Chain A
Amino acid sequence: MNQQPIQPPKRAERFFQWYCRNELQESILGDLQERFYADLEKFGKRRARLKYWLNTIRFINRYTLKNRKQHTFQEKGINVMFRHHLLTSYRNIARHKVYAFINITGLAVGLASCLLIANFLYHEMSFDRFHEKSENIYRINTFFQNRSGDATKMVNTPPALVPGLMNTFPEIKYSTQLRYARRALFEKENRRFYESNGFFADSLFLEIFSFSLLEGDNSVALDLPNTIVLSWEMAIKYFGSSDPMGQTLTMNNNLTLKVTGILAPIPDNSHIQFDFLVSFPTYQVPDGYLSDLTSWSWLGFLSYLELHPGADPIALQEKIKQLYEDNTSENRADYIFQVQALSDIYLGSADLVDDLASNIQIGNRFTIYALGVVAILILLIASFNFMNLSIAVSVSRGKEIGLRKMLGADKGGLVAQLLTEAVVLSLISLAIAYLLSWLAFPYLRDLLEWQLSIDAKQVLYSLPFAFTLTLLLGISAGIYPALRLSGRKAVIALKSNMKNNLSAGANLRKLLIAVQFCISISLIIATMVITEQIQYLSNQELGFDQENVVVIKLLPEDMNRYYEPFKNKLLENHHIVNVSQSQRPMGDPWPVNATLVVGRDESEVKQVLGSQVGYDYFETMGIKLKEGRSFSPAFVEDPTRSVILSEKTVDYLGLEDPVGKEIWYFSIDGPRTIIGVVENFNFLSLHSEISPTLLIMPIVDVKYLYVRLTPGNVGEKIAALENAWATTAPDVPLEFSFMDDQLNQLYQKEANLSYLIGGFSALAILLACLGLYGLVAFSVNQRKKEVGIRKILGATVPSLLFRFSRQYIYLIIAAAIVAIPAVQYVLNIWLENFAYRIEISWWIYLISTIALIVIAFSTISYQAVKAAMANPVNILRDE
């Protein structure tokens, strides 16, 4: 036996020679080999070979890599081949212009939609992540169950909670609470404006959250009473070009606040939005409130915590509950405190009620999922189109491939060529997609009121992902025809047997089309159901008349001063039907308060929503009185001792013959007598059921003034209104809106969702049709001769049309059978969000299936009719 001397691994050597500069190769390879023999003695063959490999790989760096400008002969060869592939790709695109166009547009539009959706989803999911300590920040929510078992989940907490937490639990680093400062009137010299977008907050708030100050010191800016930090916009509004720091600003006519900081802009993706923060020590509980800052029951604040890293929020919940129980007597409300992670707040709060209607942004997880699914579906449709057409077109190239093979092309080269073509097409589409999404973004943003911008950074982030995806798409579209065609024998390919060519990939194509039909049907159904649901909601009886009511927002003290004179002035005008006032508007949540029927046990306390309203409220709102009477100046006891219930409340409290009975509710000097019952009305969005509601006369804090106008000619009446205001209250700015506009905003999110899904569904269906069109055009072209022969043998145009379209119609019906149960399941989940919802009726399924058949048929028939009408002589004469 001839013992072979052990050699360094040949492959590694070749690999090294491949990448390394020629002039360095010899010396390094020599070193490597010397080392190899040294290692061989020390560690043995296996380790030495491994080390040789590792060293070879480690040597890759900028000193050793070949300068790409100096080609070796082989490299030149590869380059030439690649250039050749590009050239043939270009020629192929030029030859099949229509298919290339359909292919590229379809994919580009699909990719552009996905990019836009991805951009939106990225924004939605990025909420609150910009805070440096976002991982450790939590909000406390209060859940309570009244004794009848209805659960209410609120984002608000009692004011005694945060002071109680401070320095009590070691895992809490900082805690802070906010009190909203809505409807505040600010004044600086002659500049008077309402600002509705602010909070009372302390310095810890700026400590916990990364809201930075452009000027002023984060850690002390909100420590002292009567200080305020402002947004930059607000500073300009009141102080113009002069430096606002240290200047003063009057709030609500009675507080003089010193500016101690200027806020940096609040990022769009913050769930808390505000224009100003007044220091928390400034906050005084308004006169007439029955609670103070030591209350454990008044749910009027927002509480945030920063925990030490690694702290267990679940365990903390239990401790907080214990703290609550230790500080309250037996007779407490059944509060459960939930500690919610900051990252969950924006998307995870859809079922939480904010009693204060603070300026908190709440997202919707369903929208995220729905859009994500739509994006994936669009991408599927677009890529299936791409694959289908690529496969179909490549089949017609049997002859070309056969010739190439005969001339000596090897399989690898052919695969590379066909793949290059598909990849080139897909990459062109990607480039166009970026352009399209960039062009479409501003329109979409305005249409849907998206609070986001597209920036270069995001494009940069998405690029590697989109590029990989597109590359994969190109490869998967190219791989099937590439392998199939290149694997065929040259002779067979050259014979170009029609049947053989046509059947290539036919089953795969059919499957892809069936999936596209499934998606199209699902999207049609979803769009119809969502639209119908939104329609249904906006047509629901609310129990009050929202048309022709003007809502004016005022400060309570202005309301006290000017309400009567303004009302009297207005009522002189015969276009003004009624004037009234209330504490809370329709559309905002109303406060919940404990209610007890006089004579019942305290265990039967129930939570009822209530608002304080003025005389003529029911007449102004168009709420119908069912029993008894409404509040009237003729009865002196009405402002303090009377209450009006809704029908639902009567049932909820279990009252029979309610008028004349007495209940405890917000009672200062004794129980209130029920003087009337009104029909149910729904002042919240129809996501929720009508809640038990009651109404009393004003005690404090009445901010909303309502004016009912006669229908028609709004401009003239508004002028009269403004005129009346200017003569009665010249020193107070007037801000008004129409109630129906306000209420419509409650459904804005759903409306946007339906636009979005509708729009993208239409796009998806269009894309599917585009693909179908291309495919049919191609297959009809291939079957021209068949058509000609059939016509000669007596086939009619309709029968030919049927022949071409029937397989697609079968496919649609099969797709419908698969898609309908799935889409029904998903839509039912969505509908459960609504207290008032439609039933999905069978005809929606029928209509959408028929619609798709019609769409598909008309797509097919253009091509099919063209082929069937052609004179067979023209087709058959050559060859």
Chain B
Amino acid sequence: MKNNLGEFEEIVLLLVAAQHDEAYGLSITEAIENELNRSVTMSSVHTSLYRLEEKGFVRSRVGGATTMRGGRRKRLFTITASGKTALKKSMAVRQKLWNMIPATVME
């Protein structure tokens, strides 16, 4: 099951895709906190990003520095082709399951 997406990983991967080319550890942490109203530690987001990188779903490069960061550069993440496939697959699975729900249930 090495290349399966966990629930949290999926969120992180979605956000990497959403923040196209601007995604880095803290930005995703903040997005999870603000958009999903979910408390999360920075380290778990970072860890998740490294794991996604290991699985080949994201790619990282070193990006811009700001004074707020004490002149330190960001590590920016972008989604890879196999990351996109994985996201699509997981959406398809969900869609399939949604379709299986009889219309009356969700009324």
**CB pair A29 B43 closer than 8 Å:** no
Query: Which of B29, B72, B75 counts the most chain A CB atoms within 10 A?
Result: B72
Are the CB atoms of A61 and B43 closer together than 8 Å? yes
A31 to B27, CA, bound (A): 9
With A33-B69, A37-B68 as known contacts, state yes or no: A27 contacts B43, CB within 8 Å.
no
Task: Report B-chain residues with C-beta under 8 Å of the C-beta of A18.
Answer: none
A735 sits at the interface (CB 8 A): no
Q: Which B residues are in CB contact (< 8 Å) with A33? A: 68-70, 72
Dominant SS among interface residues on chain A: helix
Residues of A within 8 A of B57 (CB): none
Asked whether any CB of chain B lies closer than 8 Å to the CB of A63, the reply is yes
- Nearest-neighbour CB distance to chain B for A185, whole angstroms, equals 62
For the complex, count residues of B whose C-beta is within 8 A of A. Answer: 22
The reply to whether A59 and B46 contact each other, CB–CB distance below 8 Å, is yes
**CB-contact partner of B26 in A35, A58, A63, under 8 A:** A35
Residue in contact with B43 in the complex, picked from A26, A34, A37, A58, CB distance below 8 Å: A58
**Taking A32-B42, A58-B41 as contacts, is the C-beta distance between A27 and B47 under 8 angstroms?**
no
* Complex: chain A residue closest to B75, CB-CB: A27
Asked if B70 and A28 make an inter-chain contact with CB atoms under 8 angstroms apart, the answer reads: no
A408 within 8 A of B: no
- Residues in B with CB closer than 8 Å to A240 are none
**A29, A30, A35: most-surrounded residue (chain B CB, <10 A):** A30
Give the residues in chain B near A501, CB-CB below 8 Å.
none
The winner among A26, A34, A61 for most chain B CB atoms within 10 A is A34
Q: Contacts A28-B46, A61-B47 known; A34 to B26 CB distance under 8 Å?
A: yes
Alpha-carbon separation in the docked complex, A61 to B47 (Å): 8
* Residues of chain A within 8 A of B51, CB atoms compared: 63
Interface string of B42-54 (1 = CB under 8 A from A): 1110110011000
* Chain A 743-797 interface residues, beta-carbon cutoff 8 Å to B: none
The residue in B44, B66, B69, B75 that gathers the most chain A C-beta atoms within 10 A of its C-beta is B69
Interface residues on A, range: 10 to 19
Q: Is A55's CB within 8 Å of the partner chain B?
A: yes
Q: Which residues of B have CB within 8 Å of A61?
A: 43, 47
Q: Are B72 and A63 in contact (CB under 8 A)?
A: no
Q: Closest chain A residue to B69 by CB distance? A: A30
Q: How far is the CA of A26 from the CA of B66 in the complex (A)?
A: 12
A285 to chain B, nearest CB (A): 65
- Bound together, the chains give a CA A55 to CA B46 distance in angstroms of 11
Q: Restricting to B23-73, which residues have a CB under 8 Å from any CB of A?
A: 24-26, 29, 41-44, 46-47, 50-51, 62, 65-66, 68-70, 72-73
Q: How far is the CA of A64 from the CA of B51 in the complex (A)?
A: 12
CB of B47 within 8 A of CB of A31, answer no
Given A27-B24, A30-B70, A37-B68, 16 other A-B residues pairs in contact with their CB atoms under 8 A: A24-B75, A26-B62, A26-B73, A26-B75, A27-B73, A30-B72, A31-B26, A33-B72, A34-B66, A34-B68, A35-B42, A55-B41, A61-B43, A63-B46, A63-B47, A63-B50
| Partner-A contacts on B (CB < 8 A) | 24-26, 29, 41-44, 46-47, 50-51, 62, 65-66, 68-70, 72-75
> Could you show 5 A-B contacts with beta carbons less than 8 Å apart?
A27-B62, A27-B72, A30-B65, A34-B26, A63-B50
Residue positions of A touching B, CB distance < 8 A: 24, 26-35, 37, 55, 58-59, 61, 63-64
A-B pairs with lowest CB-CB distance, top 7: A30-B72, A27-B75, A30-B69, A58-B43, A31-B26, A63-B50, A59-B43
